[in-house]
Chain A
Amino acid sequence: MICVDRIFLVDMWRTKDLFDSPVRDFLVTHSADEFVVPVHAAGAFLECCASISATRLKQAESILGFFRIGCFDFDTARRYAAMVSALRRGSTLGKRSKTDLWIAAWAIQHSATLVTRDKIHFRDIPDLRLASYLSL
């Protein structure tokens, strides 16, 4: 199972017709895998599209229909709390995005691989399987 973030979705959209798109290459390499957008990532993606126009928002909703939406539950909250407190104890929490931390918690909960453009935003998170489509 592959879990994606907002940046993956934007990069996929903007490079969809490019022959050498790294996102396309990633999808080809993982053609049999199931792709999931955790609900926080879906919200962030819809928000950035809604800020442009109602048309873009509609199109974004269609794009999200290609993916399974990963819902959060109490177990996700427990994973989030354990992960954030571990990062804080290790002084590696920094100024991370809360959305990213929730996405990481979902990925850990479901043993999914989180794919992003820049792995540095998810560095030092224990038990997180991480991949970048730029390093294929």
Chain B
Amino acid sequence: MTKHKDIEALNSAVDRILQGEVGSPPRRRETEDPETPHSGRRILKALSTIPELSWEDAQSMLTTVTEDWESGADNPYDLR
């Protein structure tokens, strides 16, 4: 009797493994959204691939004289 129960338990465990309930990572559902290109998450990951920007270069980029500041107004983006 005990042997029979052991075999039943073993068969049940094998079924669960074959059905993917145990022993393998959960299968991805078709309805899950794939990661959107240009998403905030993607951009955050990509940031590690770009070189650093020096303070001097950032300052120069923020204060570049374009039509915006030619009127003589103070540039609000000056880092100093």
Instruction: Evaluate contact between B67 and A97: CB separation under 8 angstroms.
Output: yes
Q: In the complex, what residue of chain A is closest to B60 when comparing beta carbons?
A: A52
Asked if A127 is at the interface of the complex by the 8 Å CB criterion, the answer is: no
Q: Complex Cα distance A12/B37, Å?
A: 18
Report if A56-B38 is in contact (Cβ < 8 Å); known contacts: A27-B44, A99-B68: no
The proximity string for A residues 1-44 relative to B, scoring 1 for CB distances below 8 Å and 0 otherwise, is 01000010010111011000000101111111111100000001
Complex contacts, B62 vs chain A, CB 8 Å: 7, 10, 48
Complex contacts, A13 vs chain B, CB 8 Å: 50, 53, 58
Q: Complex Cα distance A16/B51, Å?
A: 10
Complex contacts, B39 vs chain A, CB 8 Å: 31-35
Complex contacts, A36 vs chain B, CB 8 Å: 38
Complex contacts, A56 vs chain B, CB 8 Å: 57
Q: Which of B36, B66, B76 contacts A34 (CB 8 A)?
A: B36
The proximity string for B residues 41-73 relative to A, scoring 1 for CB distances below 8 Å and 0 otherwise, is 111101111111101011011101011100101
Asked if B23 is at the interface of the complex by the 8 Å CB criterion, the answer is: no
Complex contacts, A66 vs chain B, CB 8 Å: 38, 42-43, 46
Q: Which of A7, A28, A52 contacts B57 (CB 8 A)?
A: A52
Q: In the complex, what residue of chain B is closest to A27 when comparing beta carbons?
A: B40
Q: In residues 83-124 of chain A, which contact B (Cβ within 8 Å)? A: 95, 97-100, 117-118
Complex contacts, B48 vs chain A, CB 8 Å: 16
Instruction: Evaluate contact between B47 and A16: CB separation under 8 angstroms.
Output: yes
**10 closest A-B pairs (Cβ-Cβ)?**
A48-B64, A14-B58, A97-B68, A31-B41, A31-B40, A27-B40, A48-B61, A16-B47, A68-B38, A30-B40
